[in-house]
C-alpha cells in the first residue's frame, strides 16, 4: 500500500480547486451571466450523467426538506391510530340501526 504524503494531498486539493474554479468560470461564460441559464445547464448535465440522487444528497438540507420529512413522520405516526379509528367507526355503523 502506497502512503500519500501531506504535500501530495495538498497538491491534489489545490488542483481540484483550480479545476472547480475553471468549471465555474466556464459555466458562467456559457450562461452569459444568466442564473437561469446556468441552473438549466447544471440540471441538464446532472440528469444526463445520471447523478441526480447523488447531487440531491450532496445539497444542503433546506427548511422545506425538513418540513416535508417532519410531515411524513407525523403521517406515519398517525396512520395506525387513524386506521384503528376508521375500523372502529365502520364496526359501530354496522351495528347501529
What is the model's pLDDT at position 51? 93
pLDDT in tens, 29-53: 888 878 888 888 889 999 999 999 9
The pTM is what?
A: 0.47
Q: Alpha helices, DSSP H only, in the chain?
A: 6-30, 35-49, 52-58, 63-95
Task: With H, G, I as helix, E, B as strand and everything else as coil, classify residue 52.
Answer: helix
Answer whether 41's CB lies under 8 Å from 31's CB. Answer: yes
Residue 83 has pLDDT above 80, yes or no: no
Task: Map out the domains of the chain as residue ranges.
Answer: 1-59, 62-97
Nearest to 23 by CA among 42, 4, 2: 42
| Angle (nearest 5°) at CA 27 between 35 and 33 | 40
Residue 93 has pLDDT above 60, yes or no: no
Residue 97 has pLDDT above 60, yes or no: no
CA–CA separation, 40 and 43 (whole Å): 5
Amino acid at each position: 500500500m502506497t502512503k500519500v504524503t501531506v504535500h501530495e494531498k495538498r497538491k491534489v486539493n489545490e488542483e481540484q480547486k483550480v479545476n472547480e474554479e475553471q468549471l465555474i468560470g466556464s459555466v458562467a461564460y456559457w450562461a452569459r451571466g444568466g442564473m437561469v441559464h446556468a441552473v438549466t445547464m447544471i440540471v441538464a448535465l446532472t440528469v444526463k450523467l445520471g447523478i441526480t440522487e447523488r447531487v440531491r444528497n450532496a445539497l444542503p438540507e433546506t427548511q422545506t426538506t425538513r418540513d416535508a420529512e417532519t410531515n411524513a413522520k407525523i403521517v406515519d405516526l398517525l396512520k395506525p391510530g387513524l386506521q384503528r379509528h376508521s375500523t372502529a367507526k365502520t364496526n359501530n355503523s354496522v351495528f347501529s340501526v
